[in-house]
Homo-oligomer: A and B are copies of this chain.
């Protein structure tokens, strides 16, 4: 019995799929702080023209430049794997498949967009990229991508993570990036924050401010973001495009697709190519899985809000918990985002995508079961998709239905073993919010509800 379905490099996607072409309604425009739509110019200080074009494009298929395809071939196509041992452990008639994005050298799907962004910046004559990173998945991906395309990378890493996750920092440095514990003395934003609190542990919001300030202030330097934006989701569609072909090779089509959802990039990446079929009338359920501790889609509202915590970005119409919502320090750091991709949000609002929120302990239980049956230790983010698929597989055990389930294993957990330690030591907990707390967090939306 075959477990792994490989695509040859010659069968890899040559175009990205742009979901905008198949959406029933055009995307909502981003707005400036005054509530007026902004144009491409507003982004030109920190992004290259090619990426801004992709951000605004309605073309269904966008060619992947040959140099980007060549970089993707370092680890892509990624395997699609039938999780037979997990199925056996669950005693389910369901067929469970996972797309193994953990095989990228950076350990997650983030490298898919990092190589594309590094390439377009190189083509635009940019010599340096500045970015922020929290847990470090994105910083690592951009570090390696920068190395591949001859671009210097400077990463502002949230100070508390810089000290707690030293090996992600080492990894970025091994790939040649400069890494700074944010807030730093190097930017006005950093100095301002340090003046307020010399012992500040830093925050993603603060690190974004430092990176954007550096990019905006230097002609040779741009900014790169690892999720949320349309062009990032576009680059991630290689995941779903490959998975569709791989399932076709064995005469299979999924009933349900699951992916973890923080900013939305790995969910959009695997789900959008299947959405194209759904838009054409095919029955399929596409499920974004989020933590109950940051339940953006399941408990937030659909409104214009800032993308960052401080309010420096344009306003985006999205599901949000309020830009100053502060989720607890859960171990799936990549899912601790108050908002969501505009594209995912709009399709969810229109009832075309589903969402489910899962408590932390259930996700780790799922992660351990997966590790003990399939071998790979999943990233805490990825365990969310696994947990949701396990719920459905168990329902199939009861109903006898033999559903076909596809999940995105967005990354491995080999840099997250401290989280598993904490789980085994009984130090993790579930989080839930009374409705009043959610409503309070939503009271500061810049344009109201």
* Beta-carbon contact of A420 and B170 below 8 Å: yes
Does A399 sit within 8 A of B, measured CB to CB?
A: no
Does A167 sit within 8 A of B, measured CB to CB?
A: yes
Q: Which residues of B contact A9 (CB under 8 A)?
A: 2-4
Choose among B105, B166, B371 the residue that contacts A376 (Cβ–Cβ < 8 A): B105
* CB nearest to A415 among chain B residues: B414
Q: Mark A165-177, 1 if CB is under 8 A from B, else 0.
A: 0110011011110
Chain B: minimal CB distance from A65 (Å): 16
* Beta-carbon contact of A371 and B420 below 8 Å: no
How many of these chains are in the complex?
A: 2
Chain B: minimal CB distance from A86 (Å): 11
* Beta-carbon contact of A372 and B171 below 8 Å: no
* Beta-carbon contact of B74 and A3 below 8 Å: yes
Does A192 sit within 8 A of B, measured CB to CB?
A: no
Q: Give the residues from 133 to 153 in chain A that come closer than 8 angstroms, CB to CB, to chain B.
A: 144, 147-148
Does A103 sit within 8 A of B, measured CB to CB?
A: yes
Q: Give the residues from 148 to 188 in chain A that come closer than 8 angstroms, CB to CB, to chain B.
A: 148, 166-167, 170-171, 173-176
- Chain B CB within 10 Å, residue with most, of A377, A415, A424: A377
Interface size for chain A: under 10, 10 to 19, 20 to 34, or 35 or more residues? 35 or more
Assuming the contacts A6-B8, A375-B75, asked whether A417 and B105 have C-beta atoms less than 8 A apart, the reply is: no
Chain B: minimal CB distance from A351 (Å): 39
Q: Which residues of B contact A420 (CB under 8 A)?
A: 170, 173-174
* CB nearest to A70 among chain B residues: B1
* Beta-carbon contact of B424 and A173 below 8 Å: yes
Choose among B104, B176, B372, B415 the residue that contacts A175 (Cβ–Cβ < 8 A): B372
* Beta-carbon contact of A371 and B73 below 8 Å: no
Q: Which residues of B contact A173 (CB under 8 A)?
A: 420-421, 424
Q: How far is the CA of A74 from the CA of B174 in the complex (A)?
A: 29
Assuming the contacts A173-B424, A377-B171, A377-B174, asked whether A414 and B372 have C-beta atoms less than 8 A apart, the reply is: no
Q: How far is the CA of A167 from the CA of B3 in the complex (A)?
A: 28
Chain B: minimal CB distance from A13 (Å): 16
* Beta-carbon contact of B414 and A107 below 8 Å: yes
Q: Which residues of B contact A415 (CB under 8 A)?
A: 414
* A residues neighboring B (CB under 8 Å): 1-4, 6, 8-10, 70, 73-75, 85, 103-107, 144, 147-148, 166-167, 170-171, 173-176, 368, 371-372, 374-377, 414-415, 417-418, 420-421, 424
Q: A85-B148, A105-B371, A105-B375 are in contact. List 6 more A-B contacts (CB 8 A).
A: A3-B73, A103-B103, A174-B371, A174-B372, A174-B377, A174-B424
Q: List 18 A-B contacts (CB under 8 A).
A: A2-B8, A2-B10, A4-B9, A85-B148, A103-B103, A105-B377, A106-B375, A148-B375, A166-B417, A170-B417, A170-B420, A171-B377, A174-B371, A174-B377, A174-B424, A175-B371, A414-B414, A414-B415
The 8 closest A-B pairs by CB, nearest first: A105-B375, A170-B417, A167-B417, A6-B6, A170-B421, A105-B376, A147-B372, A74-B375
